A and B are shown apart, each in its own frame.
Chain A
């Protein structure tokens, strides 16, 4: 977890690290407390803000896998595709997200991310993210 660094964009959304994922893989649990800047419409969070949280959680999950503390996931992994599914409206409460690295190969990393509010079993959104690995120093699967 010492490797995990959040991006400046995470500060913009108000995203912070809220402990470790309960999956035991070292990935952090992220929290995005409700704030006015996240509002999309009456009574709902903006889907883009939720997608932003999912992206940050994906990067943080990859960060947690890097062995070398000097490495920074943002300089090594570049997003290629992001696919976000929205299952439920985001309400004006805190949102949580955690990423799970499915595979890190030589060239591509695949990450699954879920976001929820009151109940982790009732996700409000999920994303699949494929990232290109641009430096040979990255962990090889």
Chain B
């Protein structure tokens, strides 16, 4: 997602990628930071009528969920790599288990479960309040460049 390489002395703060961003797609979507750990990152999209697929049902389009999971997975890979480094999404697969409830925030959690020299493997879920009843399952890979 990013080619930027901060100075080596700069400390890597996964939260700041979302909380300090002022422009770009995830800012337009309103993606907010929730939490992160050693190899995962969690965020949320608050309900927004601009993001619906069908004005009658008010159900969120699947695109914003893909965008959220792509961003969270990117951050999860950076966390596991130890900092921001060039990488590109190779593929993403999303299984839609059920529609998100209109009016509810959608939470996403992405985990980088395996890192090789060239490829990062990610998986994640999106849910609307109960992580045991997900809206979507996500799996994907990222291609890594040297830092």
Please give the residue numbers on chain A whose beta carbons come within 8 Å of chain B beta carbons, in ascending order.
Answer: 7-9, 11-13, 36-49, 51-53, 55-56, 59, 72, 74-75, 78-86, 89
Residues on A with C-beta less than 8 A from B23 are: 36, 39
Q: Which of B34-42, B61-69, B124-132 contacts A (4 or more CB under 8 A)?
A: B61-69
A55 to chain B, nearest CB (A): 5
Give A100 to B2 CA distance when docked, in angstroms.
Answer: 31
Asked if B147 is at the interface (CB within 8 A of a chain A CB), the reply is: no
Contact of A8 among B51, B91, B96 (CB under 8 A): B51
Q: From known contacts A9-B51, A48-B66, infer whether A40 and B25 are also in contact, taking CB-CB under 8 Å.
A: yes
Residue pair B61, A46 in contact (C-beta under 8 Å): no
The SS class assigned to the B binding surface is: mixed
B80 to chain A, nearest CB (A): 18
Asked if B56 is at the interface (CB within 8 A of a chain A CB), the reply is: yes
Asked if B53 is at the interface (CB within 8 A of a chain A CB), the reply is: yes
Residue pair A80, B96 in contact (C-beta under 8 Å): yes
Residue pair B53, A9 in contact (C-beta under 8 Å): yes
A87 to chain B, nearest CB (A): 9
For window 70-86 of B, CB contacts with A under 8 Å fall at 70-71
Give A82 to B1 CA distance when docked, in angstroms.
Answer: 20
Residue contacts A-B, CB under 8 angstroms, 16 given: A8-B51, A8-B55, A9-B51, A11-B50, A37-B24, A39-B24, A41-B3, A42-B2, A42-B4, A48-B68, A48-B70, A49-B63, A51-B92, A52-B64, A78-B96, A81-B94
Residue pair B91, A12 in contact (C-beta under 8 Å): no
Q: From known contacts A9-B53, A86-B88, infer whether A44 and B62 are also in contact, taking CB-CB under 8 Å.
A: no
Residues on B with C-beta less than 8 A from A9 are: 50-53, 61, 63-64
Asked if B11 is at the interface (CB within 8 A of a chain A CB), the reply is: no
Give A115 to B100 CA distance when docked, in angstroms.
Answer: 26
Give A49 to B70 CA distance when docked, in angstroms.
Answer: 10
Asked if B28 is at the interface (CB within 8 A of a chain A CB), the reply is: yes
Give A40 to B87 CA distance when docked, in angstroms.
Answer: 12
Residue pair A39, B25 in contact (C-beta under 8 Å): yes
Give A36 to B51 CA distance when docked, in angstroms.
Answer: 17
Contact of A55 among B2, B27, B54, B62 (CB under 8 A): B62
Residue pair A79, B96 in contact (C-beta under 8 Å): yes
Residues on B with C-beta less than 8 A from A47 are: 1, 67, 70, 89, 92
Give A82 to B52 CA distance when docked, in angstroms.
Answer: 17
Give A131 to B91 CA distance when docked, in angstroms.
Answer: 19
Residues on B with C-beta less than 8 A from A38 are: 25, 28
Residue pair B61, A52 in contact (C-beta under 8 Å): yes
Contact of B71 among A12, A42, A48 (CB under 8 A): A48
